[in-house]
Amino acid sequence: MKVVIGSDHAGYPLKVEVLEAIRKAGYEVLDVGTFNTDPVDYPDLAYKVGKAIQEGKAERGITICGSGIGACITSNKMKGIYAAICHDTYSAHQGVEHDGMNVLCMGARIIGSALANEVALSFLKASVEEVERHQKRRKKIYAIEEGTYKGE
């Protein structure tokens, strides 16, 4: 699986650690920046991660900013991008399995590197469960995204 990763300046040190862990685990990684701690805006990097997924350059993405919130909000504005902040392994894999999450967001000021590495690997190892109840719920999410949702 090819993974795209990006961070702002606050997330850069953690991105370096996570990048190393996922590469060691055998994942091919596209790093879209930032490449140092000079100030940059998290929407720019979250957009690059989402765009790489939209263009088929990666299947999953990881964004890291100070809290994870800004990157998550930005990511979820993009069509076909389903992002969530996860700072625990259960949410990281369950978000993929049940909800079709394709972007993991983490806050470098919230989570330590050892746990962040475990969370990232839990996210990447998970597969979307093709169970009817989960499919039904994901279809509703897609309909909301498309503006065709009628509610129940």
What positions carry a catalytic annotation?
65, 98
Side chain identity at 22, as an amino acid letter? I
Tokens of 99: 């909800």
CA atoms within 13 A on the CB side of 30: 19
Whether the link from the prior residue into 89 is cis, omega within 30° of 0, is no
Query: Cα(78)–Cα(18) distance, rounded to whole angstroms?
Result: 24
What tokens were used for 13? 């040190």
- DSSP-derived pairing of the beta strands 2-7 and 28-31: parallel
